[in-house]
Amino acid sequence: MGEFRWDDKVVLLTGGTGSFGQKFVELMLATYRPRAIRIFSRDELKQHEMQQRWGDEPSLRFFIGDVRDPERVHRAMDGVDIVVHAAALKQVPACEYNPFEAVKTNILGAQNLVNAAIDHEVGRVVALSSDKAVNPVNIYGATKLCMEKIFVHGNSYAGARRTRCSVVRYGNVVGSRGSVVPVFRQQAPTGVLTITDERMTRFWITLEQGAQFVARCVERAQGGEIFVPKIPSMRILDLARTMVPDCQLQVTGIRPGEKLHELLLSEDEARNALEFDDCFVVEPNFGWWGEGSLPGGKRLPDGFSYSSSNNPRWLTPAEMRAMIGSHA
């Protein structure tokens, strides 16, 4: 396939004004310098704020639009080489109470992206998913599972065309909107932190680590893979005591659609997965995939799964404080 170059590429970033999108743009401008980056989002205020931040950066373009609107997605896709799809409704409680809206954005929006990418012969399309897509117990996770399937099997729709679609799936982002970290910060002055269950564990990754991993996956993607980074776990109880050591804990009970432990790679998926130094890669069940299998990976043992509770890598309090500090 030859060496991958960013400097001659046009990148379309959906959800470009969100937490991930802003960090990804920062990384692109500082390190990769693509020919152009198109920021596609619904929020005109945040687009204006990004324009103010980056001034007259010539590679940035701003498109007001919604992934629910196939005509606007089609127009934004013209001349694009790479799509990074980060647009989503992702708040678990909000999706539980507004399931029709979650379906429109997370599922139908994904369909619009894949259709437009194929029609415009975009080379590489990478979508961001979530640990909640694995054995989902809530609407958000279910819509993300559907999104994954749409992107993986979008390669079958592409056929002989050059478009190749892949997925990146990772866990909770420290300090992002909806994360428990800002909630604990807000509660800290009271001395009382609320947790839903003392047994709860979660995977953790920083925005910068997530952006860097997505960029690497764009370079490696051949079409149909689900990339899962190896990231550490921490108990919510330990996170609370790390942030506010002398706090009192108020246990409120698990919310609708919430899990005790998160799963990034299920036992069933592991049978079709390869392990690399930095990640796992779930290979697609396509007859042609044997020709494109990623080199250097090793097969996983029977019964393997990758859960926040059986993770061999656990954050120390000092490591978590450093992660929180890097986001502050």
Cα 292 from Cα 94, distance rounded (Å) = 40
Is residue 132 part of the annotated active site? The answer reads yes
In the chain, what's the furthest Cα-to-Cα distance? Answer: 61
Determine the straight-line distance between the first and last CA of the chain, rounded to whole angstroms.
40
Between the CA atoms of 100, 101, 103 and 106, what dihedral angle is there, to the nearest 10 degrees? -170
The beta strand positions in the chain, using DSSP E, are 10-14, 36-41, 60-64, 82-85, 124-130, 164-170, 172-173, 192-195, 201-205, 226-229, 233-235, 248-251, 263-265, 273-275, 279-282, 298-299, 306-307
- Residue 115: CB partners within 8 Å, gap ≥ 6? 70, 157
Q: Which of 90, 132, 230, 259 is catalytic?
A: 132
Closest CA to 14 of 105, 96, 79: 105
Which amino acid makes up residue 81? D
Token pair of 178 as six digits:
């909806």
Between helix 207-220 and helix 19-27 the angle, nearest 10°, is 60
Between helix 139-158 and helix 109-119 the angle, nearest 10°, is 20
By CB atoms closer than 10 A (0-12, 13-18, 19+), residue 312 is: exposed
Active site residues: 132
